[in-house]
Structures are given as structure tokens and as C-alpha cells.
Homo-oligomer: A and B are copies of this chain.
Amino acid sequence: MVSKANYIRWLSVRDIRFPTSLEKDGSDAMHTDPDYSCAYVVVFTDGDAKGFGLTFTLGRGNELVVEAVKSLSHMVIGKDLRTLYKNFGSFWRELTSESQLRWVGPEKGILHLAVAAIINALWDLWARLENKPLWKLLVDMDPEQLASTIDYRYISDVLTPEDVVDILKKMEKGKEEREENILKNGYPCYTTQAGWLGYSDKKVKELCKHFLKEGMNSFKIKVGQNLEQDKHRCQLMREAIGPDRKLMVDANQRWSVPEAIAWMKELAPYKIEWIEEPTSPDDVLGHATIAKALKPLGIKVATGEMCMNRVMFKQFLQAEGLHYLQIDSCRMGGVNEILSVYFMAKKFGVPVCPHAGGVGLCEMVQHLQMFDFVSVSGTKENRVIEWVDHLHQHFQSPPIVRNGRYLAPQHIGYSTEMYEESLTSFEFPYGQEWQKLFQNGTYKDPRATATQLHKPH
């Protein structure tokens, strides 16, 4: 290992934004006008090798994640790579426990999103140095070394390094067959793309038809703005996909606990597999109350894309606040922390169904979920990866979905490298695409708003 690089020479970060709100793509009950964006990190070594990592955001606020990456970068630049990867769990703790910076976290929000971008770039680099796709790097890794990448602080009451080694060793049986399986069959996915809130009935119907033809068996729609409309849309979807395929709904944190229960009782007739994010992502006990109330109706609770760290997931599992665990590849502190959650989910027997879409999320989670199948859970039962066919043209190695399945990525790394042309065009606010949008008045240049806002409103 580390033949092509010895230490980290530099780290760059750029504010990349796509004007997706113009098309209403990705609209939901709480996020009505997202401009899908990312803080894009490149880790440069003393050799040719580079690592690419990112954190997804919705536009405004991306500048803050970019600044946070800069504030953390002094802990990364100059690091010896051999030492870093040998003690990745210790390095992760260092990065998340800086004695002054942790006050403005700790392990949550902007600071943790920035950690994710850096850590993801370091995993991409590691996979490149080993000349493997990330999922294969994880699959081939010695159990003790894999266990050492995790920081067990605050979760040792539920998960220890011994547990991780034990799980990996037990799962060695059948591992080769599962790897062949994944290479041959890929991993099933579901689509959210037929049911964004901004879409018309006609568009929804057409999209269902399209995705059925493409081999999808699970569909998710956004709910939570208007109960009558939700009923109408659920019925529309149920009719379009037939009685047996899975229909999931997503409220994006719209409700209080009692509202969630009442609303979902109204939607039960449409045979809903899960309600996603019924209330505040921070309300573990609220989710547990909702889960208990909806169980008799056969509706399960899914959450996780805004679950900020492993300590929260630990509690969601302990309190039975979720039945489907939806890890996000950028919300938590990158692969190291996500691994700890996969292992905790395994211990609790809860299926992981990753959140994806946005910018680069599909690219990343496919690796994680394939590793889970081969080395951790050993099963695809009740498990699907979200799939949104959007913005992949900006990535050098986009995920490939065929017949409702992600194909196992064959290229080296974590699939996170973007085209320089895309970066140059969509860098905010100086990229050409943004300059055009400011000039034709579609967007306001944020550098101009200060004076415009002097007027009272």
C-alpha cells in the first residue's frame, strides 16, 4: 500500500451548486426549492494519487460547509498516510474532537458535514491506492483492521471492536458466493422520482409507467402538505403500480408526533410499507411512539438521512424508533462512522436502506450497501437502495442501474470524482453557469443582496 503516496500535501475545497430548484426536482414538504449542491474536497498527496470526497447540501449553507472544511484542514494537511490508515479510528476521533472546534459541534451539523467530505475523500484515496472499488476494499480488509477504523466512543455499550471482528469472521462463510452474486445480480433499488410534490398527476402516471418498464418494484412519494392531496396521490400511485409492489411515503419531518399518527391512519388503506421522517429527526422517543401506534396498521417507520451521528442511531435502535435504517453517506462523519451504524443495525437485526439522490449520494451508498451484503448482513431481504437518476452526468464513474438494480461498481475509488468541466461551470458564484443565471435575472447574485436588502420589508 501507499506506493504512490506518502503524505497529504494539500486539501482543496470548492462550493459547487446546481440550479435544480428551477425544475422543482427534489421538492418536498419542508424543502420547497432545493438547489442540489456539494462541498467538493480534493486531497492531494506528494505523489500522483488524489482522493475526492463531498458533502451534499441544498444550496444556501453550502458556503458554511466549505468554510468548515477549511477550518478542519490543518489537521489533515501534512499527515503521513501510512500512520493515518493504520489508525484510521484514532484519526477520525482526532478530527471530530479538536479541543476548541468541538464546541461548535460536536459531531453534528455543519462541522460534521465537513468532516464527512474530508473523510470520504480519504476513503476514496485509500481505495485508489489499493487499486480497488471502495466496496471491494472493505470486503477484502482484514477484520481487525476494519474494526480499527471505527471510533467506539459513546457506543461501546452496544458495539465493541470484538463484536465487529466477530461479525466479520462469522460472515466469512458464504462470502465468496455473495461477492459473485453481487457481481452477477447487482443490488435492488427503489425510485423516489415518480413522486416529488411539485409534479402533476399526468407526470406521475407517466413516470410510474416508465419505472415499471425499467424493472422497479418499490416506489416512494412525498407527503405531508395536504391530506386530501396525499390520499389522491397515494391512490394514483397504488393504481399505477398495482396491489403488490411496495409503496413508501416520505413526510420530510413535517409533523408533530400526534399529527404523524393521525395522518398516517388516513393513508393506511393504500397499503404503505413505510412512513419516512414523520417528525423531527432528533426525536427518537417520538419516532418510537409513532412506530408503536402504526404497527397494527402494518406501516413501518423509516428514518436516517438527517440522523446526525452514531449516538442518535444507537438510540433509535435501542428505543425501536425505526424499522428501516436510512444511512446517509454525508450526514454522519463519513465511512468510518457509517460502518459503526451498519454493525449496530446488524446486532439489532434492522435492515439498512440507504438514503440517496442529491449530488453523489447514489455514487457512494452503492459501495456501502454491497459491502453490507457481502460481509455484514449477508442478505438483501427487505433492503433496497434509493435511486434518483439525476446529476450523474457530472461524475466520472456514475452508478449504473439496470432492471431495477445497481450494478456492482468496477472502477477504483468511491465513485466521487467529478468532471473538471462540471466543477468549473457550476462553482458558486463564479462559474459560467451561475454568471449566466445572475445576468439573465433568474437568480440574484448573493454578493449584491447586501445593499438591496437595505429596504424595509
Residues of A within 8 A of B (CB): 6-10, 30-35, 46, 57-65, 67-68, 71, 74, 77-80, 97-113, 153-157, 253, 256-258, 279-286, 289, 306, 308-309, 311-312, 314-315, 318-319, 449, 453-457
Contact = CB atoms under 8 A, between A and B. Distances in A.
B314 A283 contact: yes
Contacts of A99: 30-34, 58
A237 to B, nearest CB: 25
A93 B63 CA distance: 22
A15 to B, nearest CB: 12
Most chain B CB within 10 A, of A63, A107, A282, A285, is at: A282
A289 B318 CA distance: 12
A297 B68 CA distance: 43
A261 to B, nearest CB: 10
Contacts of A35: 100
Q: How many copies does the complex hold?
A: 2
B284 A284 contact: yes
A455 B9 CA distance: 8
Contacts of A449: 74
Contact of A105 (B97, B109, B256, B319): B109
Nearest to A10: B454
Contacts of A32: 99
Contacts of A315: 283-286
Contacts of A285: 284, 315, 318-319
B104 A454 contact: no
Contact of A71 (B63, B109, B155, B257): B63
Given A78-B453, A457-B78, A111 B61 contact: yes
15 contacts: A7-B456, A34-B103, A58-B103, A59-B100, A63-B67, A64-B71, A64-B104, A64-B110, A74-B449, A104-B110, A154-B279, A155-B256, A156-B256, A282-B312, A284-B285
Given A64-B67, A99-B34, A154 B457 contact: no
Q: Please list the 5 inter-chain residue pairs (A to B) with the smallest Cβ-Cβ separation, ordered nearest first.
A: A109-B109, A7-B456, A61-B104, A60-B100, A154-B280
A97 B58 CA distance: 13
B286 A157 contact: yes
B111 A112 contact: no
Contacts of A286: 154, 157, 311, 315
A113 B64 CA distance: 13
Nearest to A114: B64
Contacts of A457: 78-80
A428 to B, nearest CB: 12
Given A30-B102, A59-B100, A108 B111 contact: no
Contacts of A33: 99-100
B156 A456 contact: no
A257 B109 contact: no
A315 B77 CA distance: 40
Contacts of A258: 156-157
Nearest to A28: B99
A78 B109 contact: no
Contacts of A280: 153-154, 311
A457 B98 CA distance: 17
Contacts of A100: 31, 33-35, 57-61
A455 B79 CA distance: 9
A9 B74 contact: no
Contact of A108 (B34, B109, B154, B157): B109
Contacts of A46: 456
Contacts of A61: 71, 100-101, 103-104, 111
A253 B279 CA distance: 27
A192 to B, nearest CB: 16
Residue from A46, A79, A102, A107 with most neighbouring chain B CB atoms (10 Å): A102
A358 to B, nearest CB: 9
Contacts of A456: 6-8, 46, 78-80
Nearest to A17: B100
Given A78-B454, A283-B315, A284-B284, 10 more contacts: A33-B99, A60-B98, A61-B71, A61-B104, A78-B453, A78-B456, A78-B457, A109-B112, A110-B111, A283-B314
Given A68-B64, A157-B256, A74 B453 contact: yes
